[in-house]
Amino acid sequence: MTTVRELRPADARAFLEVHHAAVRGLAAKDYPQAVIDDWAPLPVTDKAVERFLLNPDKEIRLVAEHDGKIVGIGALVVGKAELRACYVTPGASRKGVGSALVREIERLAQERGLGFLELDSSVTAEPFYLAHGYEVRERGEHILRSGQAMACVKMVKSLQPRAQHL
């Protein structure tokens, strides 16, 4: 069974490792090696973990566990109405882990009063987000922290107003 919960600081390295495994194992077929190397730089250093924990954009970070192991990660930036991340390890893909993360991100967004979510999807993840009702706004480029540009698909989804409790 898959459970989704908020990240604890002790999970930071596992979060980055899942991100890197997904990029290198699932997205690498769709991007040049230079993009993959900047998107998921190896090794995961202590410095990278420390920087990740600073969290300047106040991401709400989630992990998905299967049999006690972290196999998926997600992130929401409420201030930008942005679904920031959803990544699943190759070994756990196509088992509903990514969907569980997206459902929880959307629930948290609705709980905070957001009426829509935007995201920059990888080319790889476009069918996944389409399956979740996201629509393509435009195709463009996402600029990685290193300055490297990567092809992306800008998508958006309206969220239903949260049910009122009378």
DSSP for 45-99? -HHHHHHHHH-TT--EEEEEEETTEEEEEEEEEGGGTEEEEEEE-GGGTTSSHHH
- Asked if 2 interacts with ligand COA (CB under 6 A), we say no
Q: Rounded to whole angstroms, what are the CA distances from 151 to 30, 37, 85, 87?
A: 9, 15, 16, 17
Q: Which of 4, 12, 16, 22 binds ligand COA (CB under 6 A)?
A: 22
- Asked if 74 interacts with ligand COA (CB under 6 A), we say no
Q: Which of 13, 24, 80, 95 binds ligand COA (CB under 6 A)?
A: 95
- Asked if 150 interacts with ligand COA (CB under 6 A), we say no
- Asked if 94 interacts with ligand COA (CB under 6 A), we say yes
Query: Which one of the spans 19-27, 50-58, 133-141, 158-166 is the region binding ligand COA (CB under 6 A)?
Result: 19-27
* Residues near ligand COA (CB under 6 A), total: 21
Question: Which lies closer to ligand COA via its Cβ, residue 94 or residue 113?
Answer: 94
